[in-house]
Structure 1
Amino acid sequence: MQALTIVGCPDLRLVGLTSKNSPRNHLSINRCNASFISDLKIYAPRQSPNTDGVDISESSHVVLENSHIQTGDDCIAVNTGSSFINITGVICGPGHGISIGSLGRDGAYDTVEEVHVRNCTFIKTDNGVRIKTWKGGSGYARNITYKDIIVEDVRYPLIIDQEYVDHHRSNFISLKRKNSSSSSAVALSHITYRNVTGTSSSEDAIKLICDEKVGCTNIVLESINIAPSNGGELHAKCQNAHGTFTSSTPSVSCLD
């Protein structure tokens, strides 16, 4: 049960909401175009599954800004049918970061475009900025930018995962589809990461794991400066990811 679900509310204005320990998602926004959401305070324990802070779906021209979100799942999840989503000035942590998806579950055709995440901080999260899709789905996620991002002791600061599995969801069909060979996948393109700084708690600070047959195209990384939070050496890991990088630490030489 979500704490608050808002459906079909154009020109929504939601300011100053506080939500604590929701049994599931704290705030779900569906079919709410031209929405302005600000100054949220959302709290849930680190180990609480499926307690997303804000879920956005089937909505366009949404501004979400100046909020503090602590959850056991995604701080913000942008789901299918969403476009022109602007997320600014959000502090996330703990939690699973700011995610696009998951998309393509159970073979679905899903679309997301024009998502812009700027001036956000991630503190001890599992992920920073993440795109996650299931095998066997279709559709696209495109024209996505992440700019002026700070990561503090984040496990995977930059991650694309096109082999996503929800381990809390016991659906044999979905797991079977994930592990099977499929000629379809959600196409990811025109994804830009610019000015990302901070620290990673794992060696794989950058993971771009794209579908083995469809791949990801037009990925751009500029001015990335991530250091290890616990010593050691950081790496970038790529699979079928295509694009360019300039001034990146760690180097993303695996990007072709």
Structure 2
Amino acid sequence: MQKLLAAGLFMLCFGIGYSQPTFHVGGFGAIGDGHTDDSQAFLKAWKQLCEAGGTGRPTLEIPASTTFLLKPTLFQGPCNSNDLHLQHPILLVNGMAIEIAGYASVMLMVSSLKDLEQSMAEAVHFHNCNNLQITGISLVNSPKSHISINQCTGVSISRIQINSPCDSPNTDGIDISSSTNLDIQHSIIKTGDDCIAINTGSSFINITGVACGPGHGISVGSLGEDGADDRVEEVHVRDCNFSRTQNGARIKTFRGGSGYARKISFEQITLIDSKNPIIIDQHYTNDGRRESSSAVKVSDVTYSGVQGTSAEEQAITLNCSDEIGCFNIKMKKIKISSSVPGKKTHAYCNNAHGTSTLTTPNVPCLLRLDKFTV
């Protein structure tokens, strides 16, 4: 028996002031009884939606309070209209609104589209999409990563909520790879892995107002696995908080890789009982291999206004490669205290170079600029 996905749906309503072609999944044979496989009906409806042109916004409509059973499904473009709308509701998982039978890494994939506004998703992979908007959705208990963005340009993600257990493996909130010009704003992510992971080929990523926790923080990487030449730049995280996370602001690279992670900033960050609040790890491997003469270069990284409490005494870790090292690391107005009364925090650093100003705990490998101020 093929593995199926049951999706419980609540309709979102939108006031639209102009004529638009609308395609109701029931008109293509979708049953919505929670037992019948409706995959082919959805694909037929998508085909008509994709072929629609003319004026207005072609819309795929799903009835309220109905359960559909779908296989992992590819919704593929390009389409005739550059302004498609999926009039989908928020998904709820707890209380049997979503039931995953067996394992599936991608439940729904939307590919090669432009100007798509997506108002519903669960374990969704977006590939080669431009001007993509994802807003107002709630995702719970994905079997793997919740949202993955690959080879996309011009993506806006806002007001989403992701909720998975802290011990759920590989359940990244948002995975980004080979994509540029992304804005992620005002969202809540609770998961068992990275809240947001920025992977190779990504640039100009802005993350603002994200509450992360539980989870493994907001991570650049991992990069350089199996000797890969990986590159990430212009990642800017601001006004975010990490609550009881395994990591906070993290950059992680494997030994033996090449490329770079550069022009990265974490500003105005709040920590609540977070482990590894600030960490750069150029030794991200557990295989015991000897140090390599090559590494992903980490440079031009700024931490500013990072304040709060650490669950561990080692609050800052700059574990850079012995051969390559990390350069132009800047810390300013950092104050991380222990969440355990009476404990003090400290920093560890190896072959990291840069400056610090008004930073607690002191980072011994960085030049303290505040010592020279009057």
Alignment TM class, shorter chain as reference:
over 0.9
Correspondence 1:135 to 2:255? yes
Distance 2:191 2:155 in 1: 23
**Residue 86 (structure 1) aligned to one of 206, 209, 213:** 206
Name the structure 2 match of 1:204.
314
Correspondence 1:188 to 2:308? no
Correspondence 1:253 to 2:364? yes
Q: Secondary structure at the match of 2:277?
A: strand
**Residue 236 (structure 2) aligned to one of 101, 116, 119:** 116
Equivalent residues of 2:202, 2:232 under 8 A apart? yes
Unaligned segments of structure 2, at least 5 residues: 1-104, 107-122, 368-374
Name the structure 2 match of 1:40.
160
Q: Secondary structure at the match of 1:212?
A: coil
- Give the C-alpha shift of residue 106 in structure 1: 0.6
Amino acid at match of 1:8: N
CA RMSD between the two structures: 0.9
Percentage of pairs with the same residue: 54
Name the structure 2 match of 1:101.
221
Name the structure 2 match of 1:218.
328
Amino acid at match of 2:326: C
- Give the C-alpha shift of residue 255 in structure 1: 2.4
| Structure with greater Cα Rg | 2
Distance 2:230 2:208 in 1: 24
Unaligned segments of structure 1, at least 5 residues: 168-174
Q: Secondary structure at the match of 1:106?
A: helix
**Residue 153 (structure 1) aligned to one of 269, 273, 287:** 273
Tell which has more relative contact order, 1 or 2 (C-alpha 8 A, sep 6+).
Answer: 1
Amino acid at match of 1:143: K
Distance 1:139 1:180 in 2: 20
Relative to the length of structure 2, the TM-score reads: 0.65
- Give the C-alpha shift of residue 23 in structure 1: 0.4
- Give the C-alpha shift of residue 142 in structure 1: 0.3
- Give the C-alpha shift of residue 16 in structure 1: 1.1
Amino acid at match of 1:212: D
Amino acid at match of 1:221: M
**Residue 64 (structure 1) aligned to one of 169, 176, 184:** 184
Relative to the length of structure 1, the TM-score reads: 0.94
- Give the C-alpha shift of residue 254 in structure 1: 2.7
Distance 1:135 1:254 in 2: 21
- Give the C-alpha shift of residue 180 in structure 1: 1.9
Distance 1:122 1:59 in 2: 25
Amino acid at match of 2:127: V
Equivalent residues of 2:351, 2:365 under 8 A apart? no
Distance 1:130 1:50 in 2: 17
Q: Secondary structure at the match of 2:169?
A: coil
Name the structure 2 match of 1:243.
354
